[in-house]
Amino acid sequence: MNELYHLLVRTDREQQLYNQARRLAERFVQRAAHDDEQATFPFADFADLKEAGFLSLTVPTEYGGQGASLYELVLVQETIAQGSGATALSFGWHASILMRLFLLRRWPEPVLARLANEVVCRHVLINSAHSERTTGSPARGGKPETTAVFRHGRFVLRGRKTFASLAPALDYVLISATMEDGRVGEFLVPMSASGIRIEPTWNTLGMRATRSDDLVLEEVEVDQEALVETLGEANEAAPAQGWLLHVPACYLGIAIAARNEALRFAKTYQPNTLPHPIASTPEVQRKIAEMEWRLTHARHFLYAVADLWDRYPEKRMEMKEELATAKLVATNTALEVVDWAMRIVGGQSLFADNPLQRHYRDVRAGLYNPPADDLTLQWLAKRALSHNPPAP
């Protein structure tokens, strides 16, 4: 087993999931550069994920899924991200939405059961599309300008959504829209619905293969049952979103891939000024140590928080700050580790055929996935100031 995992894989089931994810990552890495360069969605990677049964990873066992814990999701995410960060992040949105739906169970049971069956039996893909250019991140509380008008017994959706990851491969998309009474509804919309189209706007620095294009909704009619949830007060009652730990796990996986590339280079590169590879020099060893302590710190923190979530469901409502801090630490650590890896490899890391330049671009996207660092810092300060410290 990879020496980075021998302490973190605790059970036979986790070992099996790790081994499966490791094999998938070995396939993904062969295609990652091409998908990134061409900004094409990794359909082949998702065919492999479907064949491995991973699309139902977070569907509960009573519905025929694997019923993965948060810890197991983090383990899988971090591992497959070493093969392709874009594939892992895309898969993570699908897996995390399913985990959220079945943990909260706010949807009508028949709808949940039908969706679970389609994921397990037909390997359908789902993601949400809440972001809009005018409102920014939904975490900031902006009200969607996408509208839902009830007409002749059906809802008619109009609007545009941004950052719709997996857009070319989705079977279902969750659309947030403002209804006529001012409430915000979440609608389960099949991508086959008339009037919904993908506008290819995703020309970005990093995470190019996620194809997080715009979705344009022009008179999209859906049945009344498509309104699966009303957002607002119910959302505020469950602020701790453990399922979002798929995000930091992905970026730590990318950082591990960069670390591994730097180690490979250091062990094999021998300039004619040295009688041995550069890995034996004190300065390169210092840089390696800078990567190692950062990864050890961030990874153990991330896995510990995921374990707390799994072990103590009654404490989840109090874990918002811990979950957000785990994301902040992991994503910023990933940036630092990739930077140290590039310092070890030097100028060769800048060439387009070197995977480090892709890792460098991809990890930067972690800063913009929710929750943003500034929100996390606000939450931490607010929590600290809301409690009176004990008297000396």
Mean pLDDT, rounded, for 248-255 = 98
Note whether 322 and 376 are within 8 A (CB): no
HSE value, Cβ hemisphere, 13 Å, CA-based, for 357: 13
What does the alpha-carbon distance between residue 91 and residue 46 come to, in Å, rounded to a whole number? 8
What does the alpha-carbon distance between residue 306 and residue 273 come to, in Å, rounded to a whole number? 47
DSSP 136: B
Residue 234 confidence (pLDDT): 43
Residue 189: per-residue pLDDT: 98
pLDDT in tens, 26-66: 999 999 999 999 999 999 999 999 999 999 999 999 999 99
pLDDT of amino acid 239? 64
> Which residues lie below 8 Å from residue 259, measured CB to CB, with a gap of 6+?
291, 292, 295, 337, 341
**Residue 238 pLDDT grade (very low, low, confident, very high; cuts 50, 70, 90):** very low
14 with 5: CB under 8 angstroms?
no
Please give the pLDDT value at position 293.
98
Write out pLDDT tens, residues 315-345.
999 999 999 999 999 999 999 999 999 999 9
> Would you list the domain boundaries of the chain?
12-125, 128-231, 242-386
- CATH no., domain 128-231: 2.40.110.10
Percent of the chain with pLDDT over 90: 92
Mean pLDDT of 265-274: 96
Average confidence (pLDDT) over 155-183: 97
Distances in Å between the Cα of 151 and the Cα atoms of 97, 177, 230, 231, 367 are: 29, 15, 18, 21, 41
Whole-angstrom distance, CA of residue 208 vs CA of residue 179: 33
CA angle 324/167/247 to nearest 5° reads 15
- Contact assessment for residue 340 and residue 290, using Cβ atoms and an 8 Å cutoff: yes
Alpha carbon distance 282, 288 (integer Å): 10
Report the distance separating Cα 230 and Cα 95, nearest Å: 21
Domain boundaries 242-386, corresponding CATH code: 1.20.140.10
Q: State how far the alpha carbon of 232 is from the alpha carbons of 34, 141, 184, 267, in Å.
A: 41, 10, 7, 54
Under 8 Å CB-to-CB from 70, ≥6 apart: which residues? 99, 242, 243, 245, 306, 309, 310
CA 213 to each of CA 163, 217, 247, 348: distance values in angstroms, whole numbers, following the listed order: 6, 13, 19, 32
Amino acid identity of residue 141, one-letter, is G
Predicted confidence at residue 342, as pLDDT, reads 98
pLDDT score of 236 more than 60: no
CB 187 within 8 A of CB 110: no
Q: What local confidence, expressed as pLDDT, does residue 139 receive? A: 66
**Residues contacting residue 47 through CB under 8 Å, at least 6 positions apart:** none
Q: pLDDT (tens digit, 9 = 90+) per residue, 92-143?
A: 999 999 999 999 999 999 999 999 999 999 999 999 999 999 887 666 667 8
* Res 279 pLDDT > 50: yes
For 243-265, what is the mean pLDDT?
98
Name the CATH topology of 12-125: Butyryl-Coa Dehydrogenase, subunit A; domain 1 (1.10.540)
Contacts of 180 (CB under 8 A, 6+ apart): 148, 149, 150
Q: In this predicted structure, what is the pLDDT of residue 142? A: 78
Q: Closest Cα partner for 230 from 183, 180, 190?
A: 183
Asked if residue 18 has pLDDT above 80, the reply is: yes
Per-residue pLDDT band for 392 (boundaries 50, 70, 90) equals confident
Task: Supply the mean pLDDT for the chain.
Answer: 95
Q: Which two tokens stand for residue 286?
A: 């210092």
Check: CB of residue 17 under 8 Å from CB of residue 75. Answer: yes
* Tens of pLDDT, residues 349-385: 999 999 999 999 999 999 999 999 999 999 999 999 9
pLDDT surpasses 60 at 231: yes
Q: Span 264-293, mean pLDDT?
A: 97
